[in-house]
Chains A and B, each alone.
Chain A
């Protein structure tokens, strides 16, 4: 773990005071990656040419007459999850089927980060096509947790979380479909957020489950998370699901008062199956929120227990459709076959890993004739009930507080033999994914073994400001080390 954690603010201060140049900072981070990555396997590819070209632009701007007009993320070294397209930089999605895929264009979120001055260092490891909760489903080997190298960083955005937690990037982008930003954020001990569904453009995001996928930030502070979200959020003509709701200035709103804020504590999130140390820390976190003026309200969200089952029908059905495009014709791996169909089957059979094939099978089954009503339609109806739990909750409270993950970082290999056990790692995060509400995970102390615990805050649709305010107040009050 690196003691010197850079933030967006400290990068800016150092650059404008000319204590360091953007080129030197980039060199330093690439050197850190060279030292730290062999052990962590957080990065799958580096983009030094692109990074130095951007650094030189920033250095030129600082030397120029308008140094005060530097863009908001000037010189900030960032990492991008490998499911997000980067022009000219290999993007594998953690899959063999895209082993040599080089996207011809940038995702909007990446283009916006660079336009705001960020320096893209490289691409981070993840579960194949973002399907997993431990980053062990990557075709390129697992990422290790910087807090305990024999443990997983969470997933699927485990590489992004580990890179930021280990000081190999100041911030990172991940994607969240059922918990893939928040859960690795929790397991690696850093703030990690998904905005409202549709808040951030997904143009250039290689799709997994389109009614659930979201792009969001990892950073070391809530303030940095807010700054990144503000840059990547907002309407994009290239993504019709990106909602044209104005983006508030999250950063200037961070200090808004949280006194009197009603925080809902849903009973269903504090039941069996939660690690005792996680429970103790999250309860201490809630007490801390009470101490700075939040008002806890006991809640019932009765459909919580059905969320995993619902999610694994909806997400796999959408995945089976989205992943039909990998057929060996236009990009990625092709395994020759005697006929076109034979080529499709061999390419997909060998190119996809076990979890991806399992989910394609489950999704195809759920959508198939004779089972559609029993599985897919049923799951969509239960999804309505889960969303309704949130609607009703937000009539009584301003935010909902839960643990992010029922357990701290587990050991590599501990859950790989039993897919269902792995799925249950997302038991507290999938609900918000299905309802489309924004959510953040913030660090909330450590277990006696020294493993980070995460506390999750949900807000109503498009109420990212209040989620961030509460997370910021929690951080300021010492909640991260409660």
Chain B
């Protein structure tokens, strides 16, 4: 299956509209200038058009890969190694529990240093603009 490059007619074949760009910026908590909105609309459209090539592949029977070593079974990890790697991968799998540390509270002494670097600290808190309007 071959996919041909789309003819770019602004406002017609765009993958992402200006309105969507504004909505995404809102979700991402980014204040953008007018010029940025224009630039990102154009650039994201071009990147998303390129990414469309993934649709050439039939993935209906493929499991998604979220992590290299997926924990239980270590499927992908074990798969992707050669003999030495497989052995090591299995060890990693069998020792999976040991990579999670015990749930024990420990003292931390970085609090003061963290607050020293805060933009507006009111010890022992961070101060922010009013959140709840009355």
A residues neighboring B (CB under 8 Å):
100-102, 104-105, 196-198, 211, 235, 237-238, 240-246, 303, 305-306, 308-310, 312-313, 320, 324, 327-334, 336-346, 348-350, 352, 354, 357-358, 360-362, 364-365, 368, 375, 377-385, 387-388, 390-391, 394-395, 397-398, 419-420, 423, 435-437, 459-463, 465-466
| Complex Cα spacing A143 to B95, Å | 42
| Complex Cα spacing A235 to B99, Å | 8
Of A197, A343, A423, the contact of B68 (CB 8 Å cutoff)? A197
Are A380 and B64 in contact, CB atoms less than 8 angstroms apart?
A: yes
Q: B70-128: which residues lie under 8 A (CB-CB) from chain A?
A: 76-77, 79-86, 88-89, 91-92, 95, 98-101, 110, 113-114, 116-120, 126, 128
Contact partners of A397 in chain B: CB under 8 A: 82
Is the C-beta of B7 less than 8 angstroms from some C-beta in chain A?
no
Contacts A237-B101, A328-B119, A339-B129 given; does A387 touch B44 at CB 8 Å: no
Of A306, A390, A466, the contact of B57 (CB 8 Å cutoff)? A306
Contact partners of A350 in chain B: CB under 8 A: 31
Of B53, B79, B81, B98, the contact of A463 (CB 8 Å cutoff)? B81
Q: Which 6 A-B pairs have the closest CB atoms?
A: A436-B68, A349-B31, A460-B85, A462-B88, A380-B64, A334-B119
Are A102 and B76 in contact, CB atoms less than 8 angstroms apart?
A: no
Q: What's the nearest-Cβ distance from chain A to residue B121, in Å?
A: 9
Q: What's the nearest-Cβ distance from chain B to residue A358, in Å?
A: 6
| Complex Cα spacing A365 to B55, Å | 17
Is the C-beta of B36 less than 8 angstroms from some C-beta in chain A?
yes
| Complex Cα spacing A459 to B21, Å | 41
Contacts A102-B117, A309-B53 given; does A382 touch B59 at CB 8 Å: yes
Q: B42-59: which residues lie under 8 A (CB-CB) from chain A?
A: 43-44, 46-48, 50-51, 53-57, 59
| Complex Cα spacing A385 to B57, Å | 10
Of B92, B130, B131, the contact of A245 (CB 8 Å cutoff)? B92
Contact partners of A309 in chain B: CB under 8 A: 50-51, 53-54
Contact partners of B95 in chain A: CB under 8 A: 244-245
Is the C-beta of B134 less than 8 angstroms from some C-beta in chain A?
no
Contact partners of A331 in chain B: CB under 8 A: 114, 117-119
Are B101 and A349 in contact, CB atoms less than 8 angstroms apart?
A: no
Which of B64, B65, B88 has the most CB atoms of chain A within a 10 A radius of its CB? Answer: B65
Are B21 and A340 in contact, CB atoms less than 8 angstroms apart?
A: no
Of B30, B88, B98, B114, the contact of A345 (CB 8 Å cutoff)? B30
Additional 11 contacts, C-beta under 8 A, given A346-B31, A394-B82: A104-B117, A240-B101, A324-B29, A327-B29, A339-B130, A340-B129, A350-B31, A378-B59, A381-B62, A388-B79, A394-B85
Contact partners of B100 in chain A: CB under 8 A: 240
Contact partners of B50 in chain A: CB under 8 A: 308-309, 420
Contact partners of A390 in chain B: CB under 8 A: 80
Of A244, A329, A382, A463, the contact of B84 (CB 8 Å cutoff)? A463
| Complex Cα spacing A383 to B80, Å | 12
Contacts A303-B57, A306-B57 given; does A320 touch B128 at CB 8 Å: no
Contact partners of B64 in chain A: CB under 8 A: 377, 380-381, 383-384
Interface size in chain B (residues, C-beta < 8 A): 67
Contact partners of A196 in chain B: CB under 8 A: 85
Closest B residue, CB atoms, query A399:
B82
Is the C-beta of B66 less than 8 angstroms from some C-beta in chain A?
yes
Q: What's the nearest-Cβ distance from chain B to residue A430, in Å?
A: 13
Are A340 and B54 in contact, CB atoms less than 8 angstroms apart?
A: no
Are B28 and A320 in contact, CB atoms less than 8 angstroms apart?
A: yes
Which of B16, B28, B101 has the most CB atoms of chain A within a 10 A radius of its CB? Answer: B28
Chain A to chain B contacts (Cβ below 8 Å), 7 pairs: A105-B110, A312-B51, A331-B118, A336-B129, A362-B44, A365-B16, A381-B63
Closest A residue, CB atoms, query B76:
A387
Contacts A345-B30, A361-B24, A463-B85 given; does A104 touch B114 at CB 8 Å: yes
| Complex Cα spacing A394 to B46, Å | 35
Are A387 and B101 in contact, CB atoms less than 8 angstroms apart?
A: no
Q: What's the nearest-Cβ distance from chain B to residue A88, in Å?
A: 9
Are A361 and B59 in contact, CB atoms less than 8 angstroms apart?
A: no
Closest A residue, CB atoms, query B56:
A306
Contacts A104-B110, A310-B54, A394-B81 given; does A197 touch B69 at CB 8 Å: yes
Contact partners of B118 in chain A: CB under 8 A: 329-331
Is the C-beta of B9 less than 8 angstroms from some C-beta in chain A?
no
Q: What's the nearest-Cβ distance from chain B to residue A189, in Å?
A: 29
Which of B47, B55, B82, B99 has the most CB atoms of chain A within a 10 A radius of its CB? Answer: B82
Closest B residue, CB atoms, query A336:
B129
Are A337 and B54 in contact, CB atoms less than 8 angstroms apart?
A: no
Contact partners of A365 in chain B: CB under 8 A: 16, 20, 24, 44, 48
Closest B residue, CB atoms, query A333:
B119
Q: What's the nearest-Cβ distance from chain B to residue A301, in Å?
A: 12
